[in-house]
Amino acid sequence: MRNLQWLQRLRLPHKAGPVFASYLSPLNPTWHQFWRSVDTEPSHSQDQTRLAGTFIHHDIGTLDPRHLSTLDYVDLSDVHRVKIGDMSDTGAPHAATLFYRTTYMKTRRERYKLREQYSEVLRKNQTLPKSERKKVPIDTRKHVPFPPQAGGFFYYYSSPRAPIAGAIRFRITQDGSPTSFASGTDLLLPSGLPWEVPIVVLGSASIASYAKLRQMLLRDGLVAQPLLDKCTELGTQEGASAWHDSRLLHSLGQPFYMEFDQHTYTFWLVGEDGLSVHPVVFKYFFKGMFHKQSPYSGSALCCFERSTLPQHAGTRTAVLRIVKIVDRAVPNLTYRGRLPREGKLHQRYDRVWSFNVDHPPPWAPRNNLAADDCSSMIYMHVQPCFVQYVQYH
């Protein structure tokens, strides 16, 4: 009772009155939730719809762009997820669930709003005996819906130079006729890269729902069994989640997405046979080793190039070019250097970033490169595959 009288003497917002009792009640688990109930407006129905998501189920006949039919046309406009099945195999138990893009709630405000939606479940959980309480998982993922006017066909894109870089893509067309496929455009991500599901992810045996798509690719002769076996091997070694946002590179000049404030970047360089891949891990791309904070935030499409600078004449040196700025670079309060510029080579602290594949600098093992956290791997594994990557470009 004393606590209630003390709270009533505080100058709290007018909404605080009805929640005094809930604060003193065991149903309200924490003091932080009390303040969030005072300061946070109730969530709107449109936010709940966005989090709950909408999905469609559609069976298609093929992923071969040469044999499409009107039944393969799918309208993904404003859809959060789509389940794709094989219309010729009605007895298969699973359908592949595909998303446009998945982001994670990074800010504290986003996490607080999500936790408010779980507050009722948490309060009921607190009233149960400890032996009966259940762990309440709070999913911090957000599935961004497909863009509007996104009707078209799923198809398999095969890279002639690197079969392991193949992927399922989506071609937006004017109508549902297969004849409009050639004049259509691929569905793009906000970064400007094509939306796709890599064959390395599809071949992973750990995702059972992709079994239909694997069978469809084999049946139509779009992929060979050795390729799927290789993808299964890679998925077992690295895990399927490692390939969703992977940077699988098969040639110089191939664009990839980078965030300026990310600490570590993993690239997978495709071997000369088009099937083998070699991991290369770069650290401190945009900041020094002893700097805890990135000099600036933002993102861009980048690519590796063979250097034509005078100081690199006669050497096989790779440089990084900023192809397109996606999110404008915003410097932190202490940074006074240059910011990334579209079309220019990347400079780290006023020096062009470069890597000589034949003579790595002495600081490479401890400052800029790491492979499985083993310095000896820099020269035994990372350097040879980067030499192969740069050699014939």
338: CB partners within 8 A, 6+ apart: 347, 350
What is residue 204's predicted lDDT score, i.e. its pLDDT? 72
Query: How many angstroms separate the CA atoms of 89 and 189, rounded?
Result: 31
* Mean pLDDT (whole number) for 290-304: 82
Adjacent-strand bridge partners of 57: 83
What is residue 203's predicted lDDT score, i.e. its pLDDT? 78
What is residue 42's predicted lDDT score, i.e. its pLDDT? 36
* Mean pLDDT (whole number) for 365-387: 36
Task: Specify the amino acid at residue 254.
Answer: Q
Closest CA to 245 of 175, 193, 177: 193
Place of tokens 């069978």: 215
Among 94-98, 216-220, 253-257, the range scoring the smallest mean pLDDT is 94-98
Query: Would you mind telling me the total number of residues written for the chain in this entry?
Result: 393
Tens of pLDDT, residue by residue over 164-223, are 889 999 999 999 999 999 999 999 998 889 999 988 888 776 677 788 889 899 999 999
Instruction: Check residue 347 and report its DSSP letter.
Output: B
183: which 2 tokens?
């004049």
- pLDDT > 70: what percent of the chain? 61
Numbers of helices and strands, H then E, in the chain = 11, 17
CA-based angle 389:392:393, to the nearest 5?
80
| Burial profile 246-277: b = 16 or more Cβ within 10 angstroms, e = fewer | bbbbbbeeebbbbbbbeeebebbbbeeebbeb
Band the pLDDT of 134: cuts 50, 70, 90.
low
